[in-house]
Amino acid sequence: MKNIFSEELKKLFSDFTDMGTAVSGQIAQATQSYIDHDKAAAQSLVTHDQSINGNEVDLEKQALTLMTLQQPVADDFRAVVSILKASADLERIGDHATSIASETIRVKGSHRNQSVEVKIASLSQQIRDMLTTALTAFNANDATQAEKIAKQDQSVDDQFDEIRNTVTVAMQQDPEVAAAGASYLLVTKLLERIGDRIVNLAEELVYNQTGEIIELNQSRIRPDGD
């Protein structure tokens, strides 16, 4: 009987990892299309987001069925609950990536700032690395990575502040940059929020392994936190 549970749990983790990989791809595509002003690529991503939402619903159904029929407790219970919560976070990350794609479609103005765009690309890559660390740790049930992810997120927050300052200065110096500048701020903020969601994944990882409910998200106590 419980072998069935183990098999189902394995499948749940495997589907969760697949969803995470797809979401990571979304972040990459969204940022790339934004920087390239590639509206066609952005549109395809917006359309694709529906399938990510569908993945989340499937994972939720699987987790709830497991909880209802197998009634796990202790570590098995924590594993299912952490996936349930983490899949909701992945879905929101996907939504943020879609918002970046939507911004690509909407953005107007040809005045651009190369150095800001390089920084956004670098920030995006760093966030994807964080996500990869979180997904790998989830599969290995390795909560020791949680602190590392939280530290990486602090660096993301610092870069967000830095880009905001750069953009503000650029807009002050050249009002023509204002349209692009507002867009840069929005996209950077979306990336920063994705970072916060990945920290949530790290918290869920800790809950899965230890049963402790902790708050790793520093920006929660910042006035502009998500």
Partner 1 sequence: MTPILATQNVRLSYGEKEALHGIDLNFDEHSITALIGPSGCGKSTYLRCLNRMNDLIADTTVTGSFQFHEQDIYAPTTNLVELRKQIGMVFQQPNPFPFSLYENVTYGLKLAGHNDKRFLDEQVERALRQAAIWEEVKDDLHKNAFLFSGGQQQRICIARLLAVQPDIILLDEPTSALDPISSAQIEETLLTLKNDYTIIIVTHNLQQASRVADRTAFMLNGDLVEVDSTSQLFTQPAHQQTSDYLNGKFG
On whether the CB atoms of residues 52 and 19 are closer than 8 A, the answer is: yes
Nearer to partner 1, 145 or 209 (CB): 209
The two three-digit tokens of residue 162, written as one number: 């830095």
Stretch that binds partner 1, among 24-32, 67-75, 102-110, 156-164 (CB under 8 A): 67-75
Stretch that binds partner 1, among 69-77, 119-127, 183-191, 196-204 (CB under 8 A): 69-77
Q: Is 13 in the site for partner 1 (CB under 8 A)?
A: no
Nearest to 116 by CA among 58, 182, 20: 182
**Site for partner 1, residues 181 to 210, rule: CB under 8 A:** 210
Nearer to partner 1, 1 or 221 (CB): 1
Stretch that binds partner 1, among 15-23, 42-50, 72-80, 97-105 (CB under 8 A): 72-80
Contacts 24+ apart (CB under 8 A), 55-59: 55/15, 55/18, 55/19, 55/22, 55/87, 55/91, 56/19, 56/87, 56/88, 56/90, 56/91, 56/94, 58/15, 59/12, 59/15, 59/16, 59/19, 59/83, 59/84, 59/87
Among 39, 48, 78, 189, contact with partner 1 (rule: CB under 8 A):
78
Residue 56 has a CB neighbour count (10 Å cut-off) of 20
Q: Is 75 in the site for partner 1 (CB under 8 A)?
A: yes
Cα–Cα–Cα angle for 131, 211, 14, rounded to 5 degrees: 40
Could you give the CA distance from residue 38 to residue 46 in angstroms, rounded to a whole number?
13
Nearer to partner 1, 13 or 77 (CB): 77
Structural Rg of the chain based on CA atoms: 19
Q: Is 72 in the site for partner 1 (CB under 8 A)?
A: yes
The two three-digit tokens of residue 13, written as one number: 């983790």
Q: How far is the CB of 121 from partner 1 (least distance, A)?
A: 42
Nearer to partner 1, 66 or 131 (CB): 66
Nearer to partner 1, 80 or 86 (CB): 80
Residue type, 66: L
Q: Is 77 in the site for partner 1 (CB under 8 A)?
A: yes
Q: How far is the CB of 101 from partner 1 (least distance, A)?
A: 40
Among 68, 73, 110, 173, contact with partner 1 (rule: CB under 8 A):
73
Handedness of CA 133, 88, 68, 210 (dihedral sign): positive
Q: Is 76 in the site for partner 1 (CB under 8 A)?
A: yes
Q: Which residues bind partner 1 (CB under 8 A)?
A: 1-2, 5, 71-78, 210-211
